[in-house]
Amino acid sequence: MEEQYGFEKVISFILVIVLVSCAHGPKVVFDNGASFTVELARSEQEKEQGLMFRSSLPASAGMLFVFDGERPRSFWMKNTKISLDMIYVAKNLSVVEVKENVPSCVKDPCQVYESVPAMFVLEVNAGEAKKSGIDVGSKMSLRE
């Protein structure tokens, strides 16, 4: 009986995890209540691909780039069809820089955007940082 209960509990837990991960992605939440459902870019391939070739992004969505360690970051918008805000976040989860309205770029040459040292970069639709009240000093948390 205990084995069956344990098995059922494991299956229920797995089902809940699958349903939650399908229904909701991880969320980035700021100290002022602003939140975005995000795709995580952790691997080199995911970071290189970023939001390339997409023609739209939901208003409350974004992509969070996760790096090992804190250092200046370089991004370019090659083949990115939507304008973005780039929110740079330090290891302590404090916003250290915001680049607003970074234009799309589908033809060379595309500008390279350099940052102050950061460990995370959140890309959201252009105008969302200001609209959401996110600025240098804002605190971010990640909820999965």
Q: How many domains in the chain? A: 1
Residue 37 is assigned to a structural domain of this protein: yes
Residue 6 is assigned to a structural domain of this protein: no
Residue 17 is assigned to a structural domain of this protein: no
CA–CA separation, 50 vs 142, rounded Å? 19
CA–CA separation, 63 vs 50, rounded Å? 7
Residue 62 is assigned to a structural domain of this protein: yes
CATH number at residue 57: 2.60.120.1140
pTM of the entire predicted model: 0.79
Residues forming beta bridges with residue 66, ordered by sequence position: 120
Q: Before 58, cis peptide (omega within 30)?
A: no
Structural domain including 94 reads 25-143
pLDDT (tens place) for every residue of the chain, 144 residues total: 444 445 444 333 443 343 344 345 899 999 999 999 999 988 888 877 777 767 888 989 999 999 999 999 998 888 888 999 999 999 999 999 999 999 988 888 888 999 999 999 999 999 999 999 999 999 999 887
For residues 101-125, b (16+ Cβ closer than 10 Å) or e, as one string?
A: ebebbeeeeeeebebeebbbbbbbb
